[in-house]
Each structure stands twice: as structure tokens, then as C-alpha cells.
Structure 1
């Protein structure tokens, strides 16, 4: 009982010594006598709340720093738009296949079927196809664009058409990519007029015809290597791209931009539309990216017939300081060029490029092949044939969650993944580069008053036998703002925040932590050791006195 009271006394003395000598504000009043009942208890509760609250703030600041140690600030200087590369511009028809070209192609296949009747070109389970049924059957090729519902895919019918096409191409694997390109008119038939910097240009020499995930499009200012399945066709496409004239954009305003006249096909040539209307689809994207919308960075503009659409484009530059390189990509949430190229093992990196390759890998995992117009790359992969269409349709449902625009809306409830980004967690934006902010202004285009067509201007001598539209693209402003990501939130700044919060609330500092640690360990151990040593000496002294007394007796 005596020893327990002694220990309690030591603890009390240690605690009072801490309150008396500590530099933490608000502790010494706990030693003073107060006539008010429970005053010390209330004051202690108040101090406890302040201490807990400030340390919660400190922990949150630490977690925020661990999650994102960088801060973005706007650079004070402006950059002239002449330093910005003008983006690529893709124009796509709503009509995915031209009826006249499809009829001609079907007739060639029909002649081949008739010539080689009785061979493996004809499936024994089905009679030979007549020309009309063959034309309808060939429309199954549009499912490779992966924007159709994929209904009524009969395995036997697909097998018969597969054998027929294989026979037509001399037993080799037929290129769905090149067939679909062949069934779309040339770009000169779509983009009929053009003006750049006020000077007329030959649009057939400026646009490249490329198959994309939603149709075959004509692309201006494109610098992406060909992704045809045929090596010979790739060489021709790359040579055609290399021969394109370099267009340099020096300033803003409509007069210093580009203007194109679009002319759609006749209604009789329509077969299957991507959308419910007949509008052209206009896509703006970086020159080397695949021509489709995969991230929310760039958008798609619908250009209705008989309209004039102005598209002001505002570039926004961004870069990162050298200090940011010391932070991992997962923390800074972006890749520098060499990091992105290493990740994809190729010479070009962008967020859309990363998502594209992620999508190809997903197709390969599910079906063992990739849809050729959707692959968008000349990688050495296995391309899907008609026999793989059912699997591609199932893959599309898994990837898109049965939602055609996952980059705009959330997936339906119950889908396996929430977005392309969640399916491709390694894909991050670039740390350096330029983005484009796109808007559009639409005005109606009046029709020609007589059969001879328009009398002057860009539309001179054109008539309204086929629907017309005009697009005008230009830089919105002469100067663009630059954004730099810099390391302004390092550990020194974090330490300053800690010191400011703790010292403002109760004069707390790093020394205070050491002081608390000292009283809980070192000083307590010394007092405990002294008390034990004292008790031992007292015990020895008592035994000695007792034995001496007994000896005297």
C-alpha cells in the first residue's frame, strides 16, 4: 500500500513538473487554484478539443501532400498561336457505306462465286447467294466499326461469307480495313472546295482517307502512319502522307484560317447511317492521334446539311518544371514524353494513344484478335475476320457497358467498368504539350436561286443537287495562355504550414514533441529507477538494523 501511494505520488509530481516547465501554452493554469468548480476540467476539455482538431488538420495536409505534392499555377507570359501546331481535322459522312460502290463490289464477288461454284467458296449448307442477298450479306462488314447493334449475326451465314471472301482473295486473309475503305468514295467527292489563307487549294491533295472506329473519314493535316493491314497499302499511304504540303498557321481570325465545302452523297446512295440524322461528323484532335474520341479532351461537332459552321480553336499550352520529374507519374498524374514512349514501347505517346493500345489489348484478350478499322495501328497483331464478329460484339458490350458514349455519360448500372480510364489505369495525360479548346457557331446556308448554282464566292457554280455545308476553322485569339506545373508544395512548405497552425493555436513546435517524449520515457524512467533504488536501500537498512539488534541480544 505504501509503495503504490509512492508511485502515484511520483506520477503526480512528474505531471506537475511537465505542466510547470512545458512551453506549450495553456498548461500552467491547470496548476493554479480556482474557486470555480470544474473550471480546470472545462479548461482541460477545451485544450483537448483544440489539440485533436489541429492534429486532424495536420494529418489531412499530410495526406493531401502524399496524394499530390504539386500545385499548378498560370505562367504570366502569353504565347503566340503561331507556335501552336494546328490540330488534325476529320470529316466523316453519316453514311457508312456507299450504295453504288457496294453494288459494284458485290457484283465482283457474285461473278467469282458463279465462276468457282462447287468449291469451298460456297458453303454446302447454303445455296449460292444471288446478287441482292449477297449485297445485303456484305453489309455485315459494317459491324467491324463496332457502332452497330450487332443483331442477327448468324454463325453459318458469317461462315459462308467468310469462305467466299477468302476464295475471292486467293485463299489469303482478306483485309476488312481495306475493303471498308474501298466502299467509301474518295475525299475529293466529300470535300469539294477549300481555301487556306484566302487562297484556293486542291482539297483532294490535302485530305487522307482513313478507316476509323465509326466509319471511313477524310482527314486534314494528319501525320499518323498508315494502319492498313496490307504492307503494300501502308507504303502507299505513308508516301501519300509524306507528299502532303505543310500548312503553317501564323495568326488568328477567319481570314487567316481554313474553309472547306462539304458535299454529301445522294440520298439514293445511303445504306447505313451511324446516327439517326444525316449530319457530317467533325472531329478535332492532335495530328498523330487516332481519329476518334476516346477521352474527354477533344470533342465531336455535328455539321448539318445547308449550314455554315465556324469553329474557333483556342490552344492552351502546358509544361512541367524539372523538379516535377522527381515525383512518380502516379503521384503527379502525367507522363513526360520519354516516360510515355517507354510505357507504350513506341515513338509516340498521348492519353488517347494509350487508351487505344489498351483497347486493342482488351480485344486480344477476349477474342484473340483486333477489329482492323478499330485497331488504328500497324502493330503486328492478329486481325479479326467475319467469324470473330460475335465475340467482338460481346467485347463491345463489356468495354462500353452498353453505352455508346462512355466519355460523356456514366455507364449503366451493373456494367463491369465505369469508363475507359478505369479500364486503363496506367494511361495518364502528358506533362508537356498543348490542348485545344473548341467551340462552334452555326448559321444557315441559303440555297442557290437558280439551277446554275451559286454566282460567286467559295460556292461559285455549285448547286444544291447534293446537300452542302461549309466549315470554317481558325484560331480564336492571337495569343494563348501557358500553364506550368511546378513543385511549389514541397516538404518545406508543408513543414511551414504545420508550424503556423500549431504555434498559432497553442505555441506548439517540434521541441514540444521531443519534450513530451522525454517526460514519457527518460524522466519517468529516472524517477522510477530512483524510487526503486531508494526502496531497495531502505529495505537493506531495515534488515541490517534488525540483524544488529538480534546479535546484541
Structure 2
């Protein structure tokens, strides 16, 4: 006798019954078991429907939460070996921004139609200090204009003048060591422009099309240096001379140096971690790094959802690759250009990497001073004085809105300790300082604190398969 062909409805009922009988989910089997009264079956149907509704509700809640906060940051390891971290850039800036002997020498060379003596002209040249900090609103514009006229007559650009009168790294750095081996300071340090004026930097790779400005450039590694040991004897050591007799213009009422600790690919500006080193001390700066990386799942998210950018997802004019810090720097350049029609000399780096723009001169200082709060604040271009009590944070519309945090980055936390610098009782006094008359010097040592550090992972809260598993 031929078997009766089952209809689609009969097949669905059969499969549903088999599912209820064999599933591990509680309650389903009591709906279809034989010899069950109708009331019991209805009860279990209601229980199952309530469970399904609750599960779907929780699933939707999780989904909407994911839409608002799709990423999570977790610590992968607290014992990630130190050799996996690039050593930070170390930038040393003297408190003194104008060399007295160099400024006086320049004043004697300049032709001026005003009949000003070299000594008085040298004092006028101190106005160039305002191109770095532009924080004095009381200096009349005519003073700036007269000095700028003299510089123009002598065909001297602001960059050229600032370079001439700034203290030189060859005078500042007397002895250097890297990984316990003595090095010529000019072979590992170079002069760069920062928001502190001209400074001496080690392990710096931020600029696009940049070549090392010190000696033995062909021996400089292509990527930031690393170390495989920790402790104050294992990394960078520098003997720094304060030379107080050459001081002619300072922002800080002290004699010494500012040591900036920052990522090798970051432009050193006001936001960099800094340690103050006065004359006559031994300064130990211990570094604790941490790295944060993002998984491929993060890259697949829309930028508006993850709220971060990878280094190769955006291009900057001046800098080697994208990072949030350098993006804000270029944004500040654009604000200066927008309001004052020029860019401060310390922002202008390599010829051809930034659209042709005039470098700010002494006639622009009043404009730079007026807009300094907009340029320097943490949200460049936003006027915090206009904030109402009911202001909704996170809604600021500013010219840097295209700058997003980094998806991958290395952060450095520095701590400093110091003591009086004397070699009177030292058993190895000739090791680094032999032949040097110790008078106004200080020693800076920068090193990693430990052999291991923290590694963080940024990941999606859950992916489609974890959502399905839920």
C-alpha cells in the first residue's frame, strides 16, 4: 500500500513536535508529551512564550547598548616584555630661549636706520621671545614694527633669526650615553622646533620627509630605538650645562631645563609630559609604558561607531603618519592661519609638506596673543568663555572635529626623582664626566622602570556570532 504524501503543514507539525521532545530547553517537551491535560499544555505554552519574549527583549537591549557603546577596552597582560615597546622621544629644552652672547653678536651685525646701539638693539631683540609665548599684551605694536623693519632691511626671516639667537645643542649637551656606551651627543641628538622654541631631541621620528639633523645621519635607525633592560644604568644618560651667564630670556623664573617625554611620532608641544631639571642635580626619570592595540573587528566598524582612527586611515601634511596629537597640532596651525593669516615659526617644518603659508612675524604678535586661548585650549577653536550652565558637553562644534583619537597607541607615564649632583665621592667619576669642570651642570637619566608593562586590547563588545550565541 503506497505511503500517503505528507503535506507541508504535517511536516512542520512533525518537526516541531520532534524539536519539543528532544530540545534541552526546559518546558517544551511538556507541551507535546502524551497524556497531558489541556490546562497543563496551555500553562507550558505560556511559560515558553514568556521566556522567548524575555530573551528577545534582552537581546534587543544588548543590541541597542552595542549601538551606543560598541567597543570595550580590556587588559590583555600586565607582563608584556619591555622590548616590545619603543623607547620614548626625550626632548630637552633650556629655560633660556635667547642666548645672550648670540643675541649681542647679531645686534652688532645688523644695519639699522634708527641709530640704536648694539646693546639697546640686543634688548629689543628680546621681543622675539614673544614669538614663542606671545603672552604679554602690554608691549606697544610700534616696538614690534620697528624691530621687524630692521630685520626686513637685513633680509632676515624669522626662522633664520630665531635659529641664530637660540642656545645651541652643542653648548647645552656636554656628554651622552646610550645603553651604557658613551656617544657623541650630536650623533644621537638633533635640534628641532617645538612650542618651547628650539630644543634638543633624541629618538624623534614625527616629521614627514625629515632627515636627522645631527652628525652621522646614516647610522640613525629607521624606526624608534628600543631597549631590552630596565633600570637607571640601562638607557639614556645626558650631562646638561645650564650656562646661567648666557641667560637672556626665560618663561620660567628659574635656571635649568625642561625634559619632555613623549611618543617618538608626536610633535612635542604644551601637552607633552615634562620634568623640570634645575642646575646641580642628578635627575632620574623612570618610564612606565603601556600599549593599546585594536583588533581587526574594530577596523570593520564604521569610524562614527568606534570613534578612533588607525594610523593609515588619514593623512597629515607635516607628519609621518596620523595620530590624534599631531592632528590637533595641524588644527592649531589652521586656526593661526585663519585668524592671523600666518603660522608660528615653530610649527613650520619641512618645505613642501604644508600648503604655502606666511610665517608669523613680529607684526602678528598682537593677533596671536588675542587668539592664544583658542589655539592652546584642549578643544582648539572653541571659546570656553561662552559656555552656559546648561551646556551639553560633547556637542562642541570646532574646527578640529576631523581629529579622532588613535585606535593603536603607546603611552608613557614618567616619574622623576632627584638628588644633588656631585662626583666628590663617586667611584667612577671619570666614566662620563672626566675632563669636565662641574659647575652649573645637571645629569638626566631616562630609563624603563621594569622589564614588563601593560598591554591593553580594544575590541568590539560582541560580534554577530556572540550575539547569536546569546
How far apart are the structure 2 equivalents of 1:27 and 1:207? 72
Aligned to 1:149: 135
Find out whether 1:301 has 2:249 as its counterpart.
no
Of 333, 337, 361, the match for 1:364: 337
C-alpha distance in 2 between matches for 1:289 and 1:345 = 11
Match of 2:360 in 1: 384
Deviations 1:127-151 (A, max 9, x none): 4333233222211111111x24233
Give me the whole-angstrom Cα distance separating, in 1, the residues matched to 2:430 and 2:397: 49
Q: Deviations over 1:58-83 (max 9, x none)?
A: 88755532222122223258543223
Which secondary structure state, in structure 1, belongs to the residue aligned with residue 403 of structure 2?
coil
Q: Give the 3 Å change call, closer, same or farther, for CA 131–282 of structure 1 in structure 2.
A: same
The 3-state SS of whatever aligns with 2:95 is: coil
Q: Does 1:181 align with 2:163?
A: yes
The DSSP-based 3-state class of the residue aligned with 1:95 is: coil
Matched, 1:260 2:238: yes
- How does the TM-score come out when normalised to structure 2? 0.76
Contact 2:137 2:366 in 1 (8 A): no
Match of 1:274 among 251, 261, 285: 251
Q: Distance in 1 between matches of 2:48 and 2:203?
A: 70
- The runs of 5 or more residues in structure 1 that have no matched partner are 1-19, 29-50, 114-121, 228-233, 498-553
Alignment of 1:12-31 (within 5 A): none
1:256-290 Cα offsets, whole Å, 9 max, x none, are 21211111013x32122121222310011222322
Cα distance in 2 for residues equivalent to 1:148 and 1:288: 27
Instruction: Give the Å deviation of 1:163.
Output: 2.0
Q: Distance in 2 between matches of 1:362 and 1:422?
A: 10
Q: Alpha carbons of 1:383 and 1:23: their partners in 2 closer, same or farther (altered >3 Å)?
A: farther
The answer for the alignment partner of 1:103 in structure 2 is 104
Distance in structure 2 (CA, Å) of the matches to 1:78 and 1:421: 41
1:339 aligns with 2:321: no
Match status 1:199 vs 2:181: yes
**Residues paired across the two proteins, number:** 412
Q: 1 or 2, which has the higher helix percentage?
A: 1
Q: 1:138: which partner in 2?
A: 125
1:14-46 deviation digits (Å, cap 9, x = unpaired): xxxxxx999666999xxxxxxxxxxxxxxxxxx
Equivalent pair of 2:279/2:441 in contact (CA under 8 Å): yes
Q: Describe the shift of the 1:397–1:255 C-alpha distance in structure 2 as closer, same or farther (beyond 3 A).
A: closer
Structure 1 distance, partners of 2:264, 2:279, is 27
Pairwise CA RMSD: 3.7
Deviation readout 1:85-125 (Å, 9 max, x if unpaired) = 2121100110110111100011111xx22xxxxxxxx4xxx
Rg (Cα) greater in structure: 1
Judge conservation of contact 2:75–2:457 (CA < 8 Å) in 1: yes
Distance 1:397 1:377, change over 3 A: farther
2:467 and 2:302 map into 1 onto residues whose CA distance is 19
The residue number in structure 2 matching 1:74 is 75
Over 3 Å counting, the alpha-carbon distance change for 1:428 and 1:412 in structure 2 is: closer
Where does residue 310 of structure 1 map in the other structure? 284
Deviates more, 1:351-360 or 1:271-280: 271-280
Is 1:242 the equivalent of 2:197?
no
Query: What is the DSSP-based 3-state SS (H/G/I as helix, E as strand, rest coil) of the residue aligned with 1:429?
Result: coil
Would you say 1:327 and 2:301 are equivalent positions? Answer: yes
Deviation of 1:360 (Å): 0.5
The verdict on how the C-alpha distance between 1:391 and 1:241 changes in structure 2, with shifts beyond 3 A counting, is farther
Residue 187 of structure 1: how far off its partner (Å): 1.2
Distance 2:169 2:178 in 1: 17
C-alpha change, 1:304 and 1:363, in structure 2 (3 Å) is same
Question: Is residue 148 of structure 2 the alignment partner of residue 162 of structure 1?
Answer: yes
Answer yes or no: is the 8 Å Cα contact 1:455–1:461 preserved in 2: no
2: CA distance, partners of 1:264 / 1:106: 23
CA apart distance, 1:483: 1.9
Query: Which of 416, 419, 431 lines up with 1:443 in the alignment?
Result: 419
SS at match of 1:482: strand
Distance 1:364 1:253 in 2: 45
TM-aligned CA distance change 1:439 to 1:411, over 3 Å:
farther
Q: Equivalents in 1 of 2:230, 2:397: separation in Å? A: 34
CA 1:61/1:436 → structure 2, altered by over 3 Å: closer, same or farther? same
Deviation larger for 100-109 or 328-337: 328-337
Corresponding residue number in structure 1 for 2:116: 129
Q: CA deviation at 1:334?
A: 1.5
- d(CA) in 2 for partners of 1:180 and 1:309? 29
**Residues 205-224 of structure 1 mapped to structure 2, 5 A cutoff:** 205-224=187-206
Contact 1:309/1:472 (CA < 8 Å) preserved in 2?
yes
The answer (yes or no) to whether the contact 1:448–1:463 under 8 Å persists in 2 is no
Shift of 1:446: 3.4
Structure 1 residue 412, shift from structure 2 partner? 7.0
Cα displacement string for residues 160-179 of structure 1 (whole angstroms, at most 9, x for unaligned residues): 2222211211xxxx432232
Q: Which runs of 5+ in 2 are unaligned?
A: 1-41
